[in-house]
Structure 1
Amino acid sequence: MTGSAVPKEIEDWFAGRGWTIRQHQRDMFAASQAGKHAMLVADTGAGKTLAGFLPTLADFCPSQFGEVGPPDGLHTLYVSPLKALAHDVQRNLITPVEEMGLPIRIETRSGDTPSDRKKRQRSKPPHILLTTPESLSLLLSYPDSFLMFSGLKRIVVDEVHAFATGKRGDLLALSLSRLQAIAPAMQRAALSATVAEPASFQQWLAPWGDLDQTALVIAEAGADPEVEILLPTEERVPWGGHAATWAIPQLYEQIKANKVTLIFVNTRFLAEYTFQNLWDVNEDKLPIGIHHGSLSREARRKVEGAMARGELRALVATASLDLGVDWGDVDCVVQMGAPKGSSRLLQRVGRANHQLENPSRALLVPGNRFEFLEATAAKDAVDEGQRDGEDFRDGGLDVLAQHVMACACAGSFHEVELMAEVRSSLSYAWIDNDIWDRVLSFVANGGYALRAYDRFKRIVRLKDGTWRLTHPEHAARHRLNAGIIIDSEMLTVRFKNGRSLGRVDEGFAASLSAGDTFAFAGTCLEVLQIKDMDVTVRATSKSALIPSYGGARMPLTTHLAARVRALLDDRAGWGRFPDDVREWLEAQDHRSVMPAPGKLLVESFPHHKRYYSVYYTFEGWNANQSLGMLITRRMEERGLQPGGFVANDYSLGVWGLKPIADPVPLLSPDILADEFVDWVQDSHLLRRAFREVAVISGLIERQQPGKRKSGKQVTFSTDLIYEVLRKHEPDHLLLEAAWADARARLTDVGRLADLLDRAAGELVHLELDRVSPLAVPTMVMMGQERVSQGSVDDELLLEAEGLAGLAMSPD
């Protein structure tokens, strides 16, 4: 194919629908014609997917292939973060392919694909294969992958922002490098609607050192979204709670008024909880569905099909559907609870109308007053077109080990050649000879402390520097266990006599150490030990140090946190807030001070014969939860008799039997070098991180032929190896990887470190005679057991009103 003109068949198809090819679609086509890779940033509804596939469709137009005939074999790979998105793209691609009469076969491949189809796809692949990073990596582990991908012309990575900065992105980056080695002429394309720094993703997409051959295409802006904040019609904005149950009656009226309403929540529990509350008020028996990752494949497919056919009036969903799924009849998107980031909100808002010229309509439903401020900050960011996102970091060594094993399964490799291939990706350009040798050594025999065990001997080095499998059975075992997503486990809380009290999320249990106390099932419990999948406890008369916890939490972005601080400091802007929120802030400004930008406010006050301190950090729940653990340890050492703490995205509340006269020593940066290390070593955090990297790297197998290990069995195996390595090889590759995960992902240690570095210069400590208005939402959480997030019960409301009355009363 020569020239840069879009084929006539495609031009005619657009014209037949009354459309014109947009400039960014032509630019993507031109980049492909010039032999370049391309990164596209375009608003939702701008035709991103079609822009990515335009060069592929062109190659199959009769006017281009002429008498030679259409291309044969696998032509284009499409990689998405979600199975649902791949199926949606397949539905949407079939229409232009069929209407233009193009000879293209399109299929999907994921963990849900039947095994016989998977086998056939390797021997007789379709022209376009829609898949996920994990399934692509598995395909590359087969010896016939060299033949299957040798003629690959193009790979399209959709919603690249959703996974490029994490371990799934590491796996995909390595797969891109391998594909480029197999098919050197392959072109890369990436698509996104919500990238804060497009140039960073352009660099991630490009082969290392080949940035000038990677085009960055920025599309024209679409219609501005219409975002509103839903407020109570009769009541006040709640002091506490996250489920926004107050809004259910108003939400139901919205559902009745709209054609289709898509309701997003932040956790699977809240999806079930909101769905049930809507059914309780659904007097008209409207068809309302639910979609989240814990549902069976059949249930998810059923609701996706119902939405595609226009059979639902509303759908409650988690992040399982907030990427790219195109349902044109959705006329309103609702975000229940805090949005946590402007890019995430924009992504979800874009599910409505899904047309560039028409504005998407969205409602934000805050669960409490701080969430109202966060919703306002997110709305302002959307209105201004400001986006946020996660930073890129070095690729994970556990993912690299998995990839090396996949390459060995496909065939023997030369270490120098594979290292060059690995280093051609931005994620692993930092790998040096020493780290590479350690990775190879680990894959070969598990490392120094484990090399005596035959089951860890997976690859062997020949004299010429070539590596191969020690036995073919290792390939089958790798394919059974490869993957990046590790399901979170639930641990059972039980007494020493074996009686069970229930289960807690592993993320919460991981932060506990022997001697810690927490409230559960109406009882204060002391941790005796955490072993396998059990938290063994005893009842105690001590106060619960950790009174609350919740399941998986989306982090509050740094960008949005800064905006919330700015709102608090912008007194002139308070006039646009509801009266009760404005009065709340004015009372705070009168009695105390505002936690403005560049200021770390700490308030201390007595209440009911105890002494409380609230730290307004705005660093997110993970960082605040970790800081609470560390501060209470220091308080204990200094004889301040800590009683407990509670954390949310905005603040940390700590109480004890003695007052904190000066919080500065509690926040000195050396806390990360001393108490942090001790806490991580003593708690379950490092063990949990080690289990995940052990599974990802292939050291521990979750599955054997015909049988899957239980979480308890996997934990038992990894705990044994963990103890061996800590004792005999403390610098083992996986311990290093586990530390990196524990420090970054499990504790947000980067944000915590920044906070501690700023503390000495920014800290403002106020000693008050009673609770401040701003502290009320934090105080409401104190002492309240929250096994799962839900509605604010009567007791919590009464406590909130009592505290609020005290805080808001005149001097």
Structure 2
Amino acid sequence: MSANEAGARAAAWMAGRGWQPFAFQQEVWQAVDQGRSGMLHATTGSGKTYAVWLGMLDALLRRHPHGRGAEPLRVVWLTPMRALASDTTKALAEPLRELAPNWTIGLRTGDTPSAERARQDRRMPTVLVTTPESLTLMLTREHAREELSGVEYVVIDEWHELIGSKRGVQAQLALARLRGFHPGLVTWGLSATLGNLEDAMHVLCGPQPDPAPRLVRGRIDKTLVIDTLIPPDPGKYSWAGHLGVRMQMPVVEEIDRSGTTLVFTNVRSQAEVWYQLLLEARPEWAGHIALHHGSLDKATREWVENGLKEGTLRAVVATSSLDLGVDFLPVERVLQVGSAKGVARMMQRAGRSGHAPGRPSRVTLVPTNTMEIIEAAAARWAARSGRVEKRTPPERPLDVLVQHVVTVALGGGFRADELFAEVTSAWSYRKLTRAEFDWVVAFCERGGESLGAYPEYHRIVRGEDAIYRVQDSGVARRHRLGVGTIVSDAAMQVKYLTGAHIGTMEEGFIARLKPGDHFFFAGKLLEFVRVRDMAAYVRKATKNKGTVPTWMGSKMALSTELSDAVLEMMQSAAQGDFLEPELEAARPMLLTQQRLSKIPTPHTLLVEAYQSREGQHLYIYPFAGRNVHLGLASLLAWRLAREAPNTFSISINDYGFELVSAAPFDVEPVTSQRVFSGTDLLHDVLASLNSTELAQRRFREIARVAGLISTGYPGQPKSTRQLQASSALFFEVFRKYDAGNLLLNQAENEVLSQELEISRLGETLRRMRAKQLVFAPLRHPSPMSLPLMVERFREKLTTESLATRLERILRDMEADDAA
């Protein structure tokens, strides 16, 4: 059948709206008609949703002619966010109303009311929009096979957002289960920002899909404008955040000149600060600007999202909570405060503006330090060059598999051989050994070597028919409450004394507050009153000063693609090429760096040495991101101390790291590049860190995903201290009495692969050895080294003391320059 015939209904429906299908949409229609799974990669706002949905609807209507009754569940549409799920449901419903008015569509997420869930349980809709967690919960139902065997299509929206996480692995396992129910299942993934499309498609479709999946690239002309809000005087020296507040009025003026604007920040505390900065500058904007992040109450977030859709808000300050494909047509501008840290993230956020075919998308980068001005030029160059980050899935996470085994045992049960074949059809488990699988089943059955005496860890039971099932209702309830892989520190509700809900905040921040303390949250200044029943009660504050909450979570690291692009910009500056406006703005800093030291380039490795009253400092600039630099700094400090006993303090940022010692040390092992050896890398990295502490911290997450510890029941949550104590107890018990426990091995592997990025660390060492080392002794801290000093000072100095210290350092530098 030709593409035109395959998409006849789809094309007619679009024509009725005055739309002409793009070639990539017709290509998807044809592939769907052929029963092929695939991956659609197209620009944000170009029509990806209708490309896949109209093709599937057209094919379904030919196989199941529209009658008076609704079809049973045929399509599952997975989205990574609840807000996106609601928006997607509305988009899918439009053609359904005209082409199959008796067919139904439903939404099922953690926010779905119980009455709606009950209606769906009696009769599932024809199309169900849901999340990976809610789909997994459906698989725990006793009659899951009967209820889901009619599913013919699954779509995973924003696949790039899921693929690199355990949520993506959870989705892989759910897909493998559905393929077992319906071997002809067709699966499509949608994405706008991925650098390894072929790999991502095979992860989605499984190791050996038949027929071969189709990769469709939606090439349409869409203008992407990336520019920079350049500060008036960036200065010669730079450290994190030093330009932040100075950018207040430039940002306000940009919003004044624009239509509806999204102001993105990377973390929630920064979003709270910038919302206050905007209100401080324009009090009359109260009610016309808003704040959006994941800790705010659902009703508040929905009010903000509706205001964006209707165009009634002038600006919204947001975090990644608004990154994904919710359709905000009125948004004209996107401002990114600070570095986006990655090309894909920047392009994703840019796509929130001009979210329709033919409309340009524009993102304006707002640097908070001078290096971020250079990053802005680098990000634009990388985007134009197509240097977008790759996303790779986790390999064989056994905690997710433990959870899945109990899920399947609840959902009708399983035979071991059949489930092993099914699990290994999921990409992340394609290399899973039978011994590992059998260990997981035994762990679910008896709790491993050390938990056999505790019945609550005998979660599955093998019957006489060789089928494993869950028989204990308490186990079933705890499991369903714990389904999912999103793990965060225990959150406390924040409420007014009247009981009105404001949002949630991590318990660690609340624990540091005393009654009467003031803090900003949800755009309001609040006074802390008391904690009761795991809720923090507050009242509106009368004072005008307060602290900003902090949320746990590691800082985002600069990606390899953006790091390499920054070095390309530095190369231009080293050659005297300041043609980019950002490089011209950063010229004073770059020239100062060149005069006091050297400018790093793609082919050189800069190493600086400096002597101060604190001791001997060594600065190394691999440009590999903060996670890798933490491992590198610890590794090199350990190797240097092994050659000559010494104690080092460490400071890191995205560009490099500092080693400082009160006692002098020989830098020859560094200048000769001897300490950059890749030999015995794993052994030396583990020896250089407190790997047991890191693994124990990682084990907390694994224990929760694997169902060893519970966060409590609704209305009876457990505190962070209780969760940490429980996970620490399991960790120690397994180490002493169950040394072969594979979850312990996973914790160590995740520390290496995720926290320290061991593969990237090894590659960075190789690149460092291949570069020409440039050694630069310093008389004063260079513009590149000063931020590393500041990072270290922040940990032990008050804000006032830090400002005084910096003022003295800068004054001494300027005096020396004048002389």
- TM class by shorter-chain length? 0.7 to 0.9
1:360 — aligned with what?
Answer: 361
Change beyond 3 A, Cα 1:247–1:792: farther
**1 CA distance for matches of 2:159 and 2:108?**
18
Check if 1:700 corresponds to 2:701.
Answer: no
1:86 — aligned with what?
Answer: 85
* Residue 105 of structure 1, CA deviation: 2.2
Amino acid at match of 1:560: L
**1 CA distance for matches of 2:307 and 2:744?**
47
CA deviation map 1:89-119 (0-9, x unaligned): 1233333434557333222211122233223
Aligned runs of 1:129-528 on 2, under 5 Å?
129-210=128-209, 212-233=211-232, 236=235, 239-242=238-241, 244-285=244-285, 287-462=288-463, 465-488=466-489
**2 CA distance for matches of 1:56 and 1:70?**
19
**1 CA distance for matches of 2:133 and 2:319?**
21
| Structure 1 counterpart of 2:623, from 613, 618, 626 | 618
Structure 1 unaligned residues grouped into runs of 5+: 492-501, 507-547
Change beyond 3 A, Cα 1:221–1:21: closer
* Residue 568 of structure 1, CA deviation: 1.4
Comparing 147-156 with 462-471, which one deviates more in the overlay? 462-471
CA deviation map 1:44-75 (0-9, x unaligned): 121011112113432576x8855755651112
Check if 1:724 corresponds to 2:725.
Answer: no
**2 CA distance for matches of 1:151 and 1:609?**
70
1:413 is paired with a residue whose SS is coil
* Residue 679 of structure 1, CA deviation: 5.6
Aligned runs of 1:405-804 on 2, under 5 Å?
405-462=406-463, 465-488=466-489, 551-570=553-572, 571-576=575-580, 577-579=582-584, 581-608=586-613, 610-633=615-638, 641-642=646-647, 644-662=649-667, 663=670, 664=673, 667-669=676-678, 672-674=681-683, 676-678=685-687, 681=690, 684-704=693-713, 707-762=716-771, 763-785=773-795, 794-795=803-804, 798=807, 801-802=810-811
2:128 is paired with a residue whose SS is strand
**2 CA distance for matches of 1:222 and 1:145?**
44
**1 CA distance for matches of 2:80 and 2:69?**
30
Change beyond 3 A, Cα 1:248–1:236: same
**2 CA distance for matches of 1:632 and 1:454?**
47
* Residue 314 of structure 1, CA deviation: 0.5
* Residue 773 of structure 1, CA deviation: 3.4
Check if 1:44 corresponds to 2:53.
Answer: no
**1 CA distance for matches of 2:431 and 2:801?**
49
Asked whether the 8 Å contact 1:245–1:791 carries over to 2, the reply is no
Comparing 266-275 with 631-640, which one deviates more in the overlay? 631-640
Asked whether the 8 Å contact 2:234–2:585 carries over to 1, the reply is no
Asked whether the 8 Å contact 1:584–1:774 carries over to 2, the reply is no
Asked whether the 8 Å contact 1:60–1:71 carries over to 2, the reply is no
1:535 — aligned with what?
Answer: none
**1 CA distance for matches of 2:85 and 2:216?**
23
* Residue 751 of structure 1, CA deviation: 2.2
Asked whether the 8 Å contact 1:105–1:127 carries over to 2, the reply is yes
Asked whether the 8 Å contact 1:668–1:759 carries over to 2, the reply is no
Aligned runs of 1:104-115 on 2, under 5 Å?
104-115=103-114
* Residue 693 of structure 1, CA deviation: 0.6
* Residue 4 of structure 1, CA deviation: 5.9
Asked whether the 8 Å contact 1:776–1:804 carries over to 2, the reply is no
* Residue 569 of structure 1, CA deviation: 1.9
**2 CA distance for matches of 1:207 and 1:83?**
26
Amino acid at match of 1:390: R
**1 CA distance for matches of 2:322 and 2:604?**
38
2:284 is paired with a residue whose SS is coil
1:358 is paired with a residue whose SS is coil
* Residue 594 of structure 1, CA deviation: 2.8
2:365 is paired with a residue whose SS is strand
Change beyond 3 A, Cα 1:505–1:406: same
* Residue 799 of structure 1, CA deviation: 5.2
* Residue 672 of structure 1, CA deviation: 4.6
* Residue 326 of structure 1, CA deviation: 1.0
**2 CA distance for matches of 1:44 and 1:744?**
31
**2 CA distance for matches of 1:555 and 1:217?**
31
* Residue 341 of structure 1, CA deviation: 0.9
Comparing 65-74 with 209-218, which one deviates more in the overlay? 65-74
2:501 — aligned with what?
Answer: none
Asked whether the 8 Å contact 1:41–1:218 carries over to 2, the reply is yes
2:29 — aligned with what?
Answer: 29
Amino acid at match of 1:461: R
Asked whether the 8 Å contact 1:44–1:354 carries over to 2, the reply is yes
**1 CA distance for matches of 2:291 and 2:98?**
33
* Residue 794 of structure 1, CA deviation: 4.8
Change beyond 3 A, Cα 1:760–1:235: closer
CA deviation map 1:707-736 (0-9, x unaligned): 222221111111111111111222211101
1:783 is paired with a residue whose SS is helix
Q: TM-score, normalised by structure 1?
A: 0.87
Comparing 448-457 with 343-352, which one deviates more in the overlay? 448-457
* Residue 706 of structure 1, CA deviation: 5.0
**1 CA distance for matches of 2:299 and 2:507?**
27
2:496 — aligned with what?
Answer: none
1:526 — aligned with what?
Answer: none
**2 CA distance for matches of 1:166 and 1:637?**
37
- Report the count of equivalent residues: 757
Asked whether the 8 Å contact 2:7–2:55 carries over to 1, the reply is no
* Residue 774 of structure 1, CA deviation: 2.6
**1 CA distance for matches of 2:470 and 2:803?**
63
Change beyond 3 A, Cα 1:66–1:757: closer
* Residue 436 of structure 1, CA deviation: 1.1
**1 CA distance for matches of 2:74 and 2:776?**
66
**2 CA distance for matches of 1:791 and 1:339?**
29
1:524 — aligned with what?
Answer: none
Sequence identity percentage:
31
**2 CA distance for matches of 1:718 and 1:311?**
47
Change beyond 3 A, Cα 1:455–1:771: same
1:340 is paired with a residue whose SS is coil
**1 CA distance for matches of 2:657 and 2:311?**
45
Structure 2 unaligned residues grouped into runs of 5+: 493-505, 511-549
Check if 1:128 corresponds to 2:137.
Answer: no
Amino acid at match of 1:485: I
